[in-house]
Amino acid sequence: MSAGIALRVGTATDTGRVRTVNEDTSLVEDGLFAVADGMGGHVAGEVASRVAIDSLRAHYGVEGLIEAVQIANRAVYDRATEDPALRGMGTTICAVALVERDGDAVLDVVNVGDSRVYVYRQGELVQLTEDHSLVGDLERDGRITPEEARVHPQRNVVTRSIGIEPEVEVDSFEIDPYRGDRVLLCSDGLFDMIEDTDILGVLRNQTDPEAAAERLVHLANEAGGRDNITVVLVDVVDDGGKAEDASASLAGTTVASRPVDRILADEPASAGSSEQVPSPPPVRRMTWRSTLFSLALLGVLAAAAGGTWWFARSGWFVGLDGERVSLFRGRPDGVLWFDPTVERRTNLRLDDLQPSRRATVEDKHQFTSREAAERFIRRVQSETTTTTIAGPGQTATTDAASPDDTVLPPTSAPPTTAAP
Ligand code: MN
């Protein structure tokens, strides 16, 4: 166990009021907690969750938590492959482990499937894990509401689970444990039956973890108990002074980043005695996947910004700076905050130009290169000279620009930039 950290755990499970078999399996060991919800018919579902939990228990410690879940996946898969009666069985699994990392105690969280891990902190409840389910996908896409998800006819369709494929992708998260945190692992038999606000109410009011776990199962049964219900509640009762440290380091700053997932605010101050403890930071749902995503997003933004800058600065045109015909760099109307800049002013005024040239200047016609634009300027300069000698009309028929001078029509799209 990590120094200074003390956990207290409550757990409860029930078959519910409809099913005849409890296919859920839970695990409560020193520093390792898990819930698995088996699928695949009576015996098979029970076997799947049991095999997964046994394998996790056997391999965690030697292996990391993610690796242990991958081994558990293989164990269930192999068992289902060997035994025709168990073919197609699978299970969800979510697990929490207390580990020491760089001298700090942290809680590692992993998930596959649609069981959930919630974190209750400072009166807020955050769903840490993402459901790997059809309705979870629909909800994340904003196509259905959480309320619609709960009653969706296909709410039991799981999109990722243990034992179905030889390899499985495991979501992982990390929590800094603070005194007062309550980490809730549960199967869908809980949150399909009762609202998150109901869960929050129990976590707020029932301080004893065992009593809270039993209360949650009781409420799910009262609401119909359509599925097996399993709850493991892990309380951080001591964090070795971490909350105070965090509070001190946060003092005077305005950090307060909000959890990105569903937040349920507490009712105004139920101010218990423990509220004297300074506030730890809110739970942030930052995973290695979201980190990768953030980095990728930064890359895309940087490329886009670079591309925009390049696009904004890549054009050349001849226009008027005040009354003087001038060479500009950039796009005639600018791009975002990049305005065109004057590169060179000439002595020419618009009236000095051949009428046929004026439109080019007035329309801020774009050239493919500085050279092309300079060529145009030299040409109109020579024309004005010629004009004064030879008279108007003399050079008007000569087309100034060679074909390659004028590409980039005004509607040209920004170039695609380097993909990250
Ligand atoms: Mn279930």
**153 C-alpha vs ligand 1 centroid, how far in Å?**
14
**228 C-alpha vs ligand 1 centroid, how far in Å?**
6
8 A C-beta contact, residue 314 and residue 329: no
**230 C-alpha vs ligand 1 centroid, how far in Å?**
9
Question: In 260-294, which positions are buried (b, 16+ CB within 10 angstroms) versus exposed (e)?
Answer: ebeebeeeeeeeeeeeebeebbbbbbebeeeeeee
Q: Is the pLDDT of residue 269 over 50?
A: no
Q: Is the pLDDT of residue 259 over 80?
A: no
| Mean pLDDT (the chain, rounded) | 82
**373 C-alpha vs ligand 1 centroid, how far in Å?**
71
pLDDT tens for 51-101 read: 999 999 999 999 999 999 999 999 999 999 999 999 999 999 999 999 999
Least confident window among 291-295, 323-327, 357-361, 368-372: 291-295
Rounded to the nearest angstrom, the gap between the alpha carbon of residue 410 and the centroid of all alpha carbons in its chain is 38
Strands 116-121 vs 316-321: parallel, antiparallel or unpaired: unpaired
pLDDT tens for 305-318 read: 777 777 778 788 88
Amino acid letter for position 400: A
**187 C-alpha vs ligand 1 centroid, how far in Å?**
6
**227 C-alpha vs ligand 1 centroid, how far in Å?**
6
* pLDDT value for 341: 87
**258 C-alpha vs ligand 1 centroid, how far in Å?**
30
If pLDDT is split at 50, 70 and 90, which confidence band does 273 have? very low
Q: Within 13 Å and on the Cβ side, how many CA atoms surround 70?
A: 11
Both tokens of 95, joined, read 């697990």
pLDDT tens for 120-138 read: 999 999 999 999 999 999 9
**113 C-alpha vs ligand 1 centroid, how far in Å?**
10
* pLDDT value for 178: 95
pLDDT tens for 207-256 read: 999 999 999 999 999 999 999 999 999 999 999 888 777 766 655 433 33
**308 C-alpha vs ligand 1 centroid, how far in Å?**
50
**100 C-alpha vs ligand 1 centroid, how far in Å?**
32
8 A C-beta contact, residue 80 and residue 48: yes
Q: What percent of the chain has pLDDT over 70?
A: 80
Q: For residues 356 and 358, give the distance between their C-alpha atoms in angstroms, rounded to a whole number.
A: 6
In order of 23, 137, 220, the CA distances from 42 in angstroms are 7, 27, 21
Q: Find the distance separating the first CA and the last CA of the chain, reported in whole Å.
A: 42
Helix axes 355-362, 370-390, angle to 10 degrees: 150
Q: Which residues contact 86 (CB under 8 A, 6 or more apart)?
A: 40, 43, 44, 47, 48, 79, 80
DSSP-derived letter for residue 251 is: T
**87 C-alpha vs ligand 1 centroid, how far in Å?**
19
* pLDDT value for 283: 73
Sign of the dihedral through C-alpha 58, 64, 65, 71: negative
**136 C-alpha vs ligand 1 centroid, how far in Å?**
15
Average pLDDT of 379-398?
A: 54
**114 C-alpha vs ligand 1 centroid, how far in Å?**
8
Q: For residues 419 and 415, give the distance between their C-alpha atoms in angstroms, rounded to a whole number.
A: 12
8 A C-beta contact, residue 247 and residue 198: no
Q: Is the pLDDT of residue 139 over 80?
A: yes
8 A C-beta contact, residue 63 and residue 73: no
Ligand 1 (single-atom ion) residues, CB below 5 Å: 37, 187-189, 227
pTM: 0.63
Q: For residues 338 and 23, give the distance between their C-alpha atoms in angstroms, rounded to a whole number.
A: 62
* pLDDT value for 416: 44
Least confident window among 109-113, 152-156, 333-337, 369-373: 333-337
**16 C-alpha vs ligand 1 centroid, how far in Å?**
10
Of the two residues 155 and 87, the one the predictor is more confident about is 87
**214 C-alpha vs ligand 1 centroid, how far in Å?**
17
Largest alpha-carbon pair distance within the chain? 107
Question: In 24-34, which positions are buried (b, 16+ CB within 10 angstroms) versus exposed (e)?
Answer: bbbbeeebbbb
